Amino acid sequence: MTTRITQLWLENRRGGTTIGIDEPAPRISWIGDGSDAFDLEFSWYDGTVQTSTATGSRLVAWPFRDLAPRDGGLLRVRGSAGEWSEPVPVEAGIGSDWRVDFASPSIRAGHGGPRPAYLLRARFDPAALGAADIARARIHSSAHGLYQLELNGERVSDDELAPGWTSYRHRLRYQTYDVTALLREGSNVVGAWLGDGWYRGHIGFDGGLWDIYGTDVGVLVQVEVTTSDGRLIVVPLDGAWEWRASPIASAGLYEGESYDATAHPAGWSREEGGEDEEGWAPAQRLPLGDFPARVEPPTGPPVRQIETIQPVSVEVVNDGRIRLDFGQNIAGKVRIRPKAQRGDVIRVHHAEVLENGLLGTRPLRAATSIDTYVASGIAGEEWTPRFTIHGFRYAELEGWRGGVETVDAEAIVMHTDMVRTGWFESSHPGLNQLHSNVVWSMRDNFVDVPTDCPQRDERMGWTGDIQVFAPTALYLFGAQGTLAGWLRDLAAEQWENGHVPQFVPWVDCGFPNFPTAAWGDAAVLVPWAIYEHDGDTGILADQYPSMRAWVDLVDRLTGHTGLWNSGFQLGDWLDPAAPPESPGDSQTDRYLVATAYHVKTARVLAETAALLGHEADAARYAAIAARATEAFQHEFLSASGRVVSDTATAIALALTFDLFPDAAGAARAGERLVQLVQAGGYRITTGFVGTPIICDALVLAGSVDTAYHLLLQEELPSWLYPVTMGATTIWERWDSMLPDGSINPGDMTSFNHYALGAVADFLHRRVAGLSADAVGWSRIRFEPLPGGGLTSASATHESPLGTTACAWQRNGTVLSVEVTVPHGAEGIVVLPGRPDAVVGPGRHSFEVAFRAVGEDPRPLPPRWRPEPELVEA
């Protein structure tokens, strides 16, 4: 065990910023070092040092004086026996003290296609403003559009796609950058690249929209210096800004970027060395007060370049292009280092899959995803686009001089820079690949907003997708901050009548925007998932009005009967039996789905109200939940336990949402579920709603083995079919690629959707056996369910209290289990053939008798089974 605390964060913003924050008294968390007591120390900028002690390591109340705007210092923590942690800067943002306006080129370009990006710059001299001895320099900044800042020729941060996508009409996030080290004596130049991005670019499907939030892009940049005697100087930049055309001839998130390196004005953001002083014109000033959005700090980490991937193959293809296979479907972009001549035009085409030997670009729809580079011919040139992102595994270079041997290109993976917190491993290579695919689909779809897919003309924050995926997301990564920010947008976009748009931020591109179960329920179930994971009611308190508004709306839609049986529903979306062009036509009654979700959500809200101390509400929502339960039973259950839609999704909902009046009915339905899955040849018959819960339902039905058969199935439709087809991410449809290698004819076919990957939650909780038994992981349940011919499985999670793990192995008829309980938690170990054991922090090993691997029922072709070892006679 280490004696130094290595991770420290504020509120639930693990991995997020600690400077430029809103809270005057942020709660502090860290990963403990096994100590029971901790010392905290805060060295204020004014030289005072405050100390305090704490007994826990989670959400410890700020023990120092409140932070005034811009005030701060260095925080460190140590355990009773250990060393001080590295100091972390903690600093308040500027609140609403904006003293600058947007600077804009004010070019209202038409939109025949993606539009150019611009350069803006402003000079300032801190000394001329009386700043002699500078202690700190900060830039607080944001943009309408996408921006990247430079100060004296250096990039100010490694953020990508800043300020990210929020519901810009309500909320605009600003970043705070520490630029003390970049400041120089005399004149300084702050420069900005500025593109359309989500603010003004082309967003949405079925044609999409342009200029969604406004017609003018602009940057908001407040430079501040604080002198060593504590004086604050806000640099008056308004009026100092000038702008000119940039080398980015066009940039669209969907379309890609075109960059002309021959038009790059070298040194444009430096005081000296500027080669090209032509073309600058005064920028327009757009008053901040003219825009309604609240400007606030982010709650989650920024998007960054996370890793680079080298191609696994480089080959010339039919039309002379050079194809790069990166071996992994990602969200990001390609960086090239061409040995080119001035004026060479290189195009980079992107696609997730190949079809008939060509890039399969049809699924991208209007997101053409082509980057274009006009080379400067200067030795050592290197380029990657600034204001676009693509979903791809393959890239093709067109116009590359010099053939395959000269190719110097790599893929850059980009997403929200979340801390990884969850792992899974087993003896089954197919399951491991499935899990890896889930992790990648999460990474590729957490690009600031939790999206449906990263490649086509969509990339929207679909509420239903994250509703089913949130528990998995919170296990795999520290996604709280990202989701908390997105939930603020959800509440902001929610209609007065409580309606939750189908995706958030909402883009009105013609999709039917009606209250829809399982999608709108994200308003309640996503905050609840965060609460269950962290044990912090803060997120519930923040979202409470939004949660209530949704349930009240549904209650009204049911005419206060609890039965939701009218209006638009997406239902069990993408049921494999639905025709490709009609993914909502599922076999399960959509109103059964809607009513079941109404019960679940109303119950959760009743519990939330009780937790928050709203007694009257708790009773009211409990009554709504009870009424809906009765309505569900009356309408959809027979007295003997049949479910009216005789489908796996319907029964799985009734079982996992606990909708049966008695155990006998549930047991009968469980038997029927097993029959249905068997009759379906252990293939998937469920859509977005049923798939995440079907394995759990089978376990509740008492048939772990059936769950394994379904899980390990490789024939279409199944989780492992895509794996057998070489998938490296989770597909939107079971058969996004058909067995003959052709792409599903539906016009909605993505190879990177996390929703159906929600099964990873089952792998963690049930296959490996690691789950929280109380909110916040203060009590951990270790209950592995061996089967399916697996010889081992393990899950590890960096819980709020520290590392917890459950690993099992089977040798002959011995099942060995090792569990790890973090400090501050207790574990309950539930194993076959022995009484449950309660264990404290530390590692504990158990051995019990269990059937041998060879006895596991396995009705499937043993493709994933290791070859039997040849034994010499």
Rounded CA-CA distance 682/674 in Å is 9
> Which DSSP symbol is given to 209?
B
Question: Which range, of 206-214, 426-434, 456-464, 700-708, touches ligand BGC by CB under 6 A?
Answer: 456-464
Question: Which range, of 323-331, 626-634, 748-756, 782-790, touches ligand BGC by CB under 6 A?
Answer: 748-756
The residue among 386 and 753 lying less far from ligand BGC, judged by its C-beta, is 753
Question: Which range, of 187-195, 298-306, 362-370, 458-466, touches ligand BGC by CB under 6 A?
Answer: 458-466
Read off the amino acid at residue 384: T
The residue among 301 and 464 lying less far from ligand BGC, judged by its C-beta, is 464
Q: Please pick, from the candidates 453, 470, 637, 648, the single residue that binds ligand BGC as defined by CB under 6 A.
A: 453
Helix extents (H) in 455-507: 463-476, 480-493
Question: Which range, of 175-183, 378-386, 459-467, 525-533, touches ligand BGC by CB under 6 A?
Answer: 459-467
Whole-number minimum distance, CB 688 to ligand BGC, in Å?
7
Whole-number minimum distance, CB 490 to ligand BGC, in Å?
15
| Contact assessment for residue 290 and residue 218, using Cβ atoms and an 8 Å cutoff | no
Rounded CA-CA distance 160/620 in Å is 46
Residue with tokens 């327009």: 284
469 binds ligand BGC (CB under 6 A): no
Rounded CA-CA distance 374/379 in Å is 14
**Residues in contact with ligand BGC, shown as a per-residue x/- string from 396 to 435 under the rule CB under 6 A:** ----------------------------------------
Pairing of strands 171-173, 294-296: parallel
Write out the two tokens for 724: 């057998």
Whole-number minimum distance, CB 721 to ligand BGC, in Å?
19
The residue among 44 and 514 lying less far from ligand BGC, judged by its C-beta, is 514
Rounded CA-CA distance 869/873 in Å is 12
Question: Which range, of 7-15, 327-335, 461-469, 527-535, touches ligand BGC by CB under 6 A?
Answer: 461-469
The residue among 530 and 755 lying less far from ligand BGC, judged by its C-beta, is 755
465 binds ligand BGC (CB under 6 A): yes
Q: Is 181 exposed, middle or buried (0-12, 13-18, 19+ CB in 10 A)?
A: exposed
Whole-number minimum distance, CB 58 to ligand BGC, in Å?
34
748 binds ligand BGC (CB under 6 A): yes
Q: Which residues contact 328 (CB under 8 A, 6 or more apart)?
A: 309, 393, 411, 440, 728
352 binds ligand BGC (CB under 6 A): no
| Contact assessment for residue 484 and residue 543, using Cβ atoms and an 8 Å cutoff | no
Whole-number minimum distance, CB 467 to ligand BGC, in Å?
9
Question: Which range, of 224-232, 712-720, 747-755, 835-843, touches ligand BGC by CB under 6 A?
Answer: 747-755
| Contact assessment for residue 466 and residue 526, using Cβ atoms and an 8 Å cutoff | yes
Whole-number minimum distance, CB 461 to ligand BGC, in Å?
10
Question: Is the preceding omega at residue 236 within 30 degrees of 0, hence cis?
Answer: no
254 binds ligand BGC (CB under 6 A): no
Nearest residue to 151 via CA among 194, 189, 125, 120: 189
Whole-number minimum distance, CB 587 to ligand BGC, in Å?
17
| Contact assessment for residue 439 and residue 475, using Cβ atoms and an 8 Å cutoff | no
* 3-state secondary structure (DSSP) of residue 548: helix
| Contact assessment for residue 676 and residue 577, using Cβ atoms and an 8 Å cutoff | no
Whole-number minimum distance, CB 747 to ligand BGC, in Å?
10
Q: Is 469 exposed, middle or buried (0-12, 13-18, 19+ CB in 10 A)?
A: buried
Phi, psi of 662 (to 5 degrees): -150, 165
Is 671 labeled as catalytic in the residue annotation? Answer: no
The residue among 482 and 736 lying less far from ligand BGC, judged by its C-beta, is 736
Rounded CA-CA distance 760/696 in Å is 12
The residue among 495 and 568 lying less far from ligand BGC, judged by its C-beta, is 568
Whole-number minimum distance, CB 591 to ligand BGC, in Å?
17
The residue among 164 and 464 lying less far from ligand BGC, judged by its C-beta, is 464
The residue among 200 and 459 lying less far from ligand BGC, judged by its C-beta, is 459
Whole-number minimum distance, CB 731 to ligand BGC, in Å?
11
**Which own/partner contact pairs does 641-644 have at CB distance under 8 Å and 24+ positions apart?**
641/665, 641/666, 641/667, 641/668, 641/669, 641/672, 642/668, 642/669, 642/672, 643/592, 643/669, 643/672, 644/589, 644/592
The residue among 465 and 714 lying less far from ligand BGC, judged by its C-beta, is 465
Whole-number minimum distance, CB 607 to ligand BGC, in Å?
26
Count the site residues for ligand BGC by CB under 6 A. Answer: 11
Centre a 10 Å sphere on the Cβ of residue 220 and count the other Cβ atoms it contains: 25
Nearest residue to 761 via CA among 797, 718, 731: 797
Considering the candidates 458, 493, 532, 783, report the single residue annotated as catalytic. Answer: 458
The residue among 464 and 788 lying less far from ligand BGC, judged by its C-beta, is 464
Residues 433-452 binding ligand BGC (CB under 6 A) are 452
291 binds ligand BGC (CB under 6 A): no
Whole-number minimum distance, CB 53 to ligand BGC, in Å?
48
Considering the candidates 160, 410, 714, 732, report the single residue annotated as catalytic. Answer: 732
The residue among 473 and 825 lying less far from ligand BGC, judged by its C-beta, is 473
Read off the amino acid at residue 637: L
570 binds ligand BGC (CB under 6 A): yes
Q: Which residues contact 157 (CB under 8 A, 6 or more apart)?
A: 149, 175, 177, 302
Is 818 labeled as catalytic in the residue annotation? Answer: no
Q: Please pick, from the candidates 160, 458, 534, 536, the single residue that binds ligand BGC as defined by CB under 6 A.
A: 458
500 binds ligand BGC (CB under 6 A): no
Q: Is 603 exposed, middle or buried (0-12, 13-18, 19+ CB in 10 A)?
A: buried
* 3-state secondary structure (DSSP) of residue 821: strand
The residue among 399 and 687 lying less far from ligand BGC, judged by its C-beta, is 687
573 binds ligand BGC (CB under 6 A): yes
Give the CB-nearest residue to ligand BGC.
452
Residues 590-629 binding ligand BGC (CB under 6 A) are none
Residues 677-696 binding ligand BGC (CB under 6 A) are none
Rounded CA-CA distance 240/219 in Å is 13
**Residues in contact with ligand BGC, shown as a per-residue x/- string from 752 to 781 under the rule CB under 6 A:** -x-x--------------------------
Residue with tokens 């997403």: 415
464 binds ligand BGC (CB under 6 A): yes
717 binds ligand BGC (CB under 6 A): no
Q: Which residues contact 521 (CB under 8 A, 6 or more apart)?
A: 463, 467, 550, 597, 600, 601
462 binds ligand BGC (CB under 6 A): yes
Q: Which residues would be at the binding site for ligand BGC (CB under 6 A)?
A: 452-453, 458, 462, 464-465, 570, 573, 748, 753, 755
Residues marked as catalytic: 458, 732
